[in-house]
Chains A and B, each alone.
Chain A
Amino acid sequence: MSRPTPATRRSAKSEYIETDTGNKISRRSIIEGKQNIMLGGKSVVMAGAMLRGDLVRKPEKMADGEKEGPVTAIHVGRASIISTNCTIRPPHRISRGRMVFYPMRIGDNVFIGPGTYVSSAVISSNVHIGTNCVLSAFSVIRDNCKILPNTVVPSHMTIPPGSVVGGRPARITGEVGEGWGQGGGGEGEEYVEGGDLRALVRSIR
């Protein structure tokens, strides 16, 4: 894990490494604790994105720290995109007198804009998150939400489905239209906010 791979060997090839399930992981992304990160397939981790999979809950009774089963720290669904310079860090808080890291779950077709910091407990599916947002610890973003750029979602905030939020701290400023996520698929308009992002995933290379 700590051994740096020589960067020059394959850097002439494409920027992304594609896994068996179609995930694309940038060679320039920063992934700590990769054994604790699950990507559901056709998801993208772009350059400079940082995933702190190493921050996990250790089993209560740890005998020697070696023979523990894999714990999931970050679970990302299908066709979700973590764009450049994002930081994804599982949230932590005190539970029964210990500081404990909690797993984070990100759903399908979630777009996370560049420079955004995510420490949410749950982000459901079809969520569009703008650039430079801060999603504080244990925030819960329900499905079909839109988070405007530069929003600070305070810790423990729950955003109900179909909301548009913005501001510092985040407030619900509106609701997405009924057609949220619909209407994509046409030429030149292959993907829309909150819709199926597979076309966007394909276009990233």
Chain B
Amino acid sequence: MAAAPPYALYVCPCSSLSSTTLAVHAKRASAAPADAQADEDSTFNSHDPRANYALYPLDHLLFCNECDCIRCPRCYTEEILNWYCPSCMFEVPSSQVKNDGNRCARNCYDCPICTSALTVAALPRPSETHLNPNETEQGRYILQCGYCEWSSLDQTIEFSKPTKITEQLAKKRKEQRRRKPEDKAVSTAHGADQVDGYENLMAFYKEQLAESGDASNTYSSSPYSSPANLAKIMSLYGGLSVNALKKAREKPQPMREARTDKEGLQVHSLDSSAVDEETVRRLQAVDWQDTPTHEQRFSGPLNHQAIQTNELWPVATPLRIRKGKRCSVCRQFLSRPEPKIPNLRYKIRLLASNYVPRLLLRPLNASSTTPNPAFRLRPNEAEMSPLQPNIMQQYLLTVRNPIFETVKITLATSSSTPGKVSSRVTILCPSFTVGPAGDVWDEALSSSTTSVATDDGGRQAAMASLTGKSTDEADRQPEAGKIWTRSRNSTSIILEVVPGALKPPPSIVPKSDDEMLAEELTEDKDVLEIPIFVRAQWDAVEDTDASASAGRKHERRAAEGEKVRKELAYWCVIGVGHIADG
């Protein structure tokens, strides 16, 4: 994720990069402390090349409330709920999808050159009809790209009406094939006819199947029509076995294979020198920039064999899908969007952000609060200044609790960050509690008024976030083991970071080339990322979700206060910023 720092990415415990999987399972089988110890020893390396596949922003993660686990794209399964065309937003029934080649069969086409959507444009009609707008039916229309100016005129395609483009296009293609027989040899050898050939084969074998089907079904009106019935009768009366009979019946009606060009048969000739020469001759005539790129050629089956860009056909818009996501362990739906295509709403959505404590890092003494770098309002708004190496910085790490229980948080990080540039990190208060999230309404109300104050800590925090420092906080010093601020459902602590230097101090010993190469920084290696292991523990009333539906028994148990200790442990990688060079 190329998010601008500061950001927080979460590691799904299913990832093999960290051994936390064990810990998560361990909590069910009454925790093995050895495993837990192992977690904290092996730090998640966010600069590992494979780390990208395990790091997710919290809004991409789901949570299975049955398994009490974070679910990421590697541990949920997706299933297609519906297909739709992204251009006309029409849903395509699943039965039709395959037939249409996963593409929109309506009027949606993409530009073969630049992939943007093509529009149907009217060409000016001859002047005598020009002033008569009623004669729109017999006009001249083309498909046109509004971005790169490609149009179907490049393929000499014009349409007589602005609708049913797919039909008209298919007709034009047939016409064009007929018109240019000299191209045929070349294109056949290169399989440009594959599509047509496939269609012919389809038609032929469909016919064959129908014929052979009819032949075997001569008794369709009799009780012998169904094979099961026939088999029963045959076994009753003895004689030939069913299989023998089948064979006997098939013999007189063998299904014929395609024999001619018209039936879709394409003979591959080994001696293709004439064709090759023709191809080479044509290739010689075109510039490099007039040859299609791979992407252009694979944009659609008709373009697979294009030699020049001007042979490219408009591409029917590929369909997109709406997916439902299931937990791969318990198979329950984690996310299920509503089937209405033009809007994105969810029937089911178990977001990790509603279960997993959220981490937020801010500079402690920032004069301005720019919580989200995505919301840059002015072009000259300063980007975050790079971090100066070897100078200690203090940050405020806020942990926000989304659940309705008080959560005990334990944070752990290695004293120096992994990766080529190692920075020193100290968490001043690694263990603390975070209050429960209130009612949704509380949150909504408190966020709609400026005073967030539910208790004193909240007000202080609000003040701190507004002014950067309040009066008595001006000379307040961070202390080890002390919480900085606390509000209703979030607690802030201090994190001290000493960014490492990008380049090691110059040494007198000359280095070998390999060493120099190894020292060269790869992309994003100058980003200071702190992996923090978060362990959240809370006492939950067992099956709070199920109790509502499961009835009184559970409720009574809840009333009795039967509590279960729950735990969630995961790595979180916090991007602090870029380290300044030098």
A and B: direct contact (Cβ < 8 Å)? Answer: yes
Q: Which chain A residues have a beta carbon within 8 Å of chain B's beta carbons?
A: 46-47, 81, 83-85, 96-97, 111, 113-115, 128, 130-131, 136-137, 142-144, 152, 154-163, 169-172, 176-180, 182-193, 198-200, 202, 204
Which residue of B57, B88, B448, B452 is within 8 Å of A177 (Cβ)?
B57
Taken together as a complex, chains A and B put the C-alpha atoms of A192 and B373 apart, in Å, by 10
Chain A residue numbers with a CB within 8 Å of B369 are 188
Contact B443 A185 (CB under 8 A): yes
Interface residue? B372 (CB, 8 A): yes
Contact B115 A189 (CB under 8 A): no
Taken together as a complex, chains A and B put the C-alpha atoms of A115 and B377 apart, in Å, by 10
Taken together as a complex, chains A and B put the C-alpha atoms of A83 and B377 apart, in Å, by 5
Contact B147 A179 (CB under 8 A): no
Which residue of B115, B341, B351, B447 is within 8 Å of A171 (Cβ)?
B115
Contact A83 B378 (CB under 8 A): yes
Contact A154 B117 (CB under 8 A): yes
Contact A97 B379 (CB under 8 A): no
Interface residues of B in 318-370 (CB under 8 A from A): 320, 325, 335, 341-344, 346, 349, 351-354, 358, 360, 362, 369
Chain B residue numbers with a CB within 8 Å of A97 are 133
Which residue of A113, A154, A198 is within 8 Å of B147 (Cβ)?
A154
Interface residue? B86 (CB, 8 A): yes
Question: Which residue of chain A has its CB nearest to the CB of B489?
Answer: A186
Question: Which residue of chain B has its CB nearest to the CB of A170?
Answer: B116
Interface residue? B388 (CB, 8 A): no
Contact B343 A143 (CB under 8 A): yes
Question: Which residue of chain A has its CB nearest to the CB of B378?
Answer: A84
Question: Which residue of chain A has its CB nearest to the CB of B86?
Answer: A160
Which residue of B133, B335, B341 is within 8 Å of A96 (Cβ)?
B133
Contact B146 A156 (CB under 8 A): yes
Which residue of A136, A179, A202 is within 8 Å of B146 (Cβ)?
A136
Which residue of A81, A142, A176, A191 is within 8 Å of B342 (Cβ)?
A142
Contact A162 B344 (CB under 8 A): yes
Known A84-B379, A158-B86; judge A187-B344 contact (CB<8 A).
no
Contact A191 B375 (CB under 8 A): yes
Contact A179 B58 (CB under 8 A): yes
Give A26 Cβ to nearest chain B Cβ, in Å. Answer: 11
Known A158-B117, A176-B59; judge A193-B374 contact (CB<8 A).
yes
Taken together as a complex, chains A and B put the C-alpha atoms of A205 and B320 apart, in Å, by 42
Taken together as a complex, chains A and B put the C-alpha atoms of A54 and B320 apart, in Å, by 38
How many contacting A-B pairs (Cβ < 8 A)?
Answer: 155
For the complex with contacts A144-B344, A189-B360, A193-B374, 17 further pairs of A-B residues with Cβ separation under 8 Å are A96-B133, A114-B378, A131-B376, A142-B342, A156-B146, A160-B86, A169-B115, A177-B56, A178-B60, A178-B62, A183-B59, A183-B358, A185-B447, A187-B398, A188-B465, A189-B358, A191-B372
**Main SS of chain A's interface residues?**
loop
Q: How many residues of B contact A (CB 8 A)?
A: 64
Give B365 Cβ to nearest chain A Cβ, in Å. Answer: 14
Known A97-B133, A171-B115, A182-B353; judge A114-B379 contact (CB<8 A).
yes
Known A152-B147, A160-B84, A178-B60; judge A187-B465 contact (CB<8 A).
yes
Chain A residue numbers with a CB within 8 Å of B400 are 186-187, 189
Give B437 Cβ to nearest chain A Cβ, in Å. Answer: 9
Which residue of A96, A131, A179, A188 is within 8 Å of B362 (Cβ)?
A188
Chain B residue numbers with a CB within 8 Å of A189 are 358, 360, 371-372, 398, 400
Contact A156 B119 (CB under 8 A): yes
Interface residue? B114 (CB, 8 A): yes
Taken together as a complex, chains A and B put the C-alpha atoms of A192 and B61 apart, in Å, by 16
Give A33 Cβ to nearest chain B Cβ, in Å. Answer: 24
Which residue of A46, A137, A157, A190 is within 8 Å of B377 (Cβ)?
A46
Contact A179 B61 (CB under 8 A): yes
Query: Which 10 A-B residue pairings sit nearest by Cβ, starting from the closest?
Result: A179-B59, A177-B60, A155-B146, A154-B116, A161-B344, A154-B147, A177-B59, A183-B353, A162-B344, A169-B116
Chain A residue numbers with a CB within 8 Å of B89 are 142, 158, 160
Question: Which residue of chain B has its CB nearest to the CB of A194?
Answer: B59
Residue among A47, A111, A160 with most chain B CB within 10 A: A160
Taken together as a complex, chains A and B put the C-alpha atoms of A179 and B119 apart, in Å, by 34
Interface residue? B296 (CB, 8 A): no
Chain A residue numbers with a CB within 8 Å of B119 are 155-156
Give A21 Cβ to nearest chain B Cβ, in Å. Answer: 16
Which residue of A156, A179, A187 is within 8 Å of B461 (Cβ)?
A187
> What are 5 contact pairs spanning A and B, CB under 8 A?
A83-B377, A84-B378, A136-B147, A157-B87, A189-B372
Interface residue? B487 (CB, 8 A): yes
Contact A182 B351 (CB under 8 A): yes
Contact B146 A84 (CB under 8 A): no
Interface residue? B498 (CB, 8 A): no
Question: Which residue of chain A has its CB nearest to the CB of B361?
Answer: A188
Contact B344 A204 (CB under 8 A): no
Chain B residue numbers with a CB within 8 Å of A128 are 374
Chain A residue numbers with a CB within 8 Å of B148 are 169
Taken together as a complex, chains A and B put the C-alpha atoms of A156 and B133 apart, in Å, by 23
Give A51 Cβ to nearest chain B Cβ, in Å. Answer: 17
Chain B residue numbers with a CB within 8 Å of A204 are 377
Give B73 Cβ to nearest chain A Cβ, in Å. Answer: 10
Taken together as a complex, chains A and B put the C-alpha atoms of A115 and B381 apart, in Å, by 13
Chain B residue numbers with a CB within 8 Å of A162 are 344
Interface residues of B in 373-405 (CB under 8 A from A): 374-379, 396, 398, 400, 402
Chain A residue numbers with a CB within 8 Å of B351 are 178-179, 182-183
Taken together as a complex, chains A and B put the C-alpha atoms of A27 and B465 apart, in Å, by 27
Known A182-B59, A187-B465; judge A115-B379 contact (CB<8 A).
yes
